[in-house]
Amino acid sequence: MTATPPTPAAPAGKSPSPAAPNAPVASNAPAPNSAAPAAPSGPRAIGMPIERIDARAKLTGTAIYAAETPVANVAHAVIVGSTAARGRLRSVDTDAARRQPGVLAVLAPGAVPKLPAAPTSGTGNPADRVLQLLQDDKIWYADQPIAVVVADTLERAQHAAALVTAAYDSTPPVAEIDAALGEAYTPEKLAPFGEPATTRGDFDAGLAAAHARITATYTTPVENHNPMEPHATIAVWHGDTKLTLYDATQGIFGVRNKIAKVFGLEPTDVRVIDHYVGGGFGCKGTPWSHVALAALAARAVGRPVKLVVTRPQMFALVGHRPKTVQTLTLGADAAGKLTAIRHTVVSETSRFDQFVEPSALQTRHLYSCPNVITTHQLVKLDIPTPTFQRAPGESTGTYALESAMDELAYALRIDPLELRIRNHSVRDEQDDKPYSSNALLACYQRGAARFGWSRRTASPGSMRDRGTRIGWGMATATYPARMSPSSAIARMRPDGILLVQAGTQDIGTGTYTIMTQIAADAMGIPIEQVRFELGDTAFPETPVSGGSQTAASTGTAVKLAVDKLRDQLIALRQSPDEPWAHVVARSGRPELTAEHKTDKRPDTHSYHSHGATFAEVRIDPDTGEIRVARVVAVYAAGTILNPRTALSQLEGGIVWGIGMALQEHTVRDRRTGRAVTRDLADYHIPVHADIPELDVSFVEEPDPFVNPLGIKGIGELGITGVTAAIANAVYHATGKRVRDLPITLDKLL
């Protein structure tokens, strides 16, 4: 079987082809209709717990992931990483590797062509991060690529890669943030999140007027993503100027644009395909060095090349959640009303690029307070560049803010839930805008009732069960309801199937399914008559599948495309001889009215999802073992397209929050800068025994402003607040406040 050359992007009014060979196809499709469908009379699919359309393909192994794409004559590439973390590469000895059977090439600095656009320092734009592409001898971090070995089999490439040696002129790295806090600086931008610092009101006056004050510092550790599917790329050149990439990515168009820039190609000459993604969580949001290295290797050997990042390499080559040091100062009057908030964040970044963990974003709007200061600073270290990791900013920031609110509640002798209710914000006070919708109070009410919060006794250590210490804690969840320009194309095929295509990605969130539901309702037909295809830059352009924006962004585009097609089909009813089955409607980038836009729309409202999380922990007083016994979470997130897939996303976020609270922690060797926890045996994550039954529910939250479908997005909402709820429960059980995650036995005993 040979590699399929790229299909040119379709011109306006035409459908790109062919479809993904393994894309899900609705079964039992009816025969072609003889007349166009009528306008939809009401919802038929949206809001229904429909099973995943791609479930059978995944369960039976017929879903093809990037590295599994059948490409003829494919060679295998293996990255050789640096054993130094700071300095320069004096030499690379590749002679032994080159002599091995089956070796086709060994790429190293000085033996690869200079690329048109391979910058060595960056501006902090995550979409255009600095890559390490064997262009110079500078060593920025441990395990940085210093060579790529290409062979006819994976085993031969691995063996030859082990024979590559290098000499360095190196100096000891600075790889821990606490060793360089004095060098913290303020970045110009909080890209892509806005300004690094904000001030409203008079913080000093507000703090002076407070009846109660607390100041505390909270730290969160380095964490790594490690989705089930590792990062992988197959690169196929067609001549010197056209390239196809089968890449494990959350953003096919971002990969296309970056690789085109690196190699000096036109974006339309780079085609990126990825029909299934085995998890991303942010690390697959932007292209990393291995993607360009695969293309570089394929060009060097004149045949397709597959490069799969190993599990240990994923701890260095594809980003991480950076360590944060967050200090909160809160002041409140005797009634519990906040008078002052200051939230300062220091996080780590690399020396050659920058990434800011925006942990104070939610503090700017979540609670009503007239006097608020937030700041973000960075410390440059000899480490890889950090990146987005599920709910970047809010996941780490809600831990600090919600822990501080709990501490303030104890200082005021006010119930933690009551304190939050008294400080509920009815509008975004930072931007001085109304919320498009905000049902947080309803989340508090339902969550407290389902959890039985009224039975909680206030004093730490006062709740026990046969010696086991019981703790109850709660926290607020929040995440922005983002939306970006997107596009889709809709076509009624001759066989009566509504075909909808968009170049988006399904990272396990259920995109195939919910887009099918949206299209079915827009046309007013059963979902069995709809086929939705994605994962190809030959399809209309869409944003990255990150920031919980896919359903809102591409879902809106799908609805608009199908609406337009439906209207054309209805108009053709009077002309029975017209080939209506071939009419195509293209949405382009949807022109929405002001009240339906997000992100780049006119600033008329503030758009956020909210929730309330309640947790019970049980702690052995002798061993310090912590068990999460219950989690009750209630969310308000606009229209819920599919309760089944939504529940999966929210429960997954809660599980991750439990891991953040009690287990996750990437350990670096201070001497070498290398990650010590380099596989899933040493990097601890929750297992089945760590997770109780989760009680997750929704409150209705109609939102006429956020977008035409009322969608807010939930992929990251579930992880926020969970860590703080567990930390607060631990304090309630023990009377010991742990402010340094994860909460491990040694910190309690």
Structure tokens at 494: 């001759």
- Helices in 251-393 by DSSP H: which ranges? 252-263, 289-301
CB contact at 8 A, 361 and 244: no
**Backbone torsion region of residue 4, taken as left when φ is above 0, otherwise alpha when ψ lies between -120 and 50, otherwise beta:** beta
Residue position matching structure tokens 């091995």? 100
In the chain, what are the helix, strand and coil shares in percent, each to the nearest 5? 25, 25, 50
Cα gap 549→483, rounded to integer Å: 5
Catalytic residue among 394, 664, 701, 716: 716
CB contact at 8 A, 636 and 440: yes
Residue 734: other Cβ atoms inside 10 A? 19
Residue 735: other Cβ atoms inside 10 A? 14
Cα gap 86→88, rounded to integer Å: 7
Cα gap 306→298, rounded to integer Å: 8
Can you give the three-state secondary structure of 32-64, one letter per residue? CCCCCCCCCCCCCCCCCCCCCCCHHHHHHCCCC
Pairing, β 530-533 against β 498-501: parallel
Helical packing angle, 643-662 and 394-412, nearest 10°: 70
**Residues recorded for the chain:** 749
Helical packing angle, 550-571 and 511-523, nearest 10°: 30
The 3-state DSSP class for residue 346 equals: strand
185 beta partners? 378
Cα gap 411→336, rounded to integer Å: 10
CB contact at 8 A, 488 and 540: yes
Minimal CA–CA distance to 377: which of 401, 398, 400, 354? 354
Residue 181: other Cβ atoms inside 10 A? 12
**Is 716 a known active-site residue?**
yes
Cα gap 290→259, rounded to integer Å: 11
Cα gap 664→683, rounded to integer Å: 7
Q: Is 467 exposed, middle or buried (0-12, 13-18, 19+ CB in 10 A)?
A: exposed
Element (H, E) at 643: helix 643-662
Our measurement of the distance from residue 219's CA atom to the centroid of its chain's CA atoms, rounded to an integer in Å, reads 21
**In this structure, which amino acid lies at residue 42?**
G
- Helices in 230-376 by DSSP H: which ranges? 252-263, 289-301
CB contact at 8 A, 704 and 643: no
CB contact at 8 A, 213 and 331: yes
Pairing, β 270-273 against β 242-247: parallel
- Residues 6 or more apart in contact with residue 522 via CB below 8 angstroms: 40, 558, 559, 562, 563, 566
Residue position matching structure tokens 């991480």? 320
Active site residues: 716
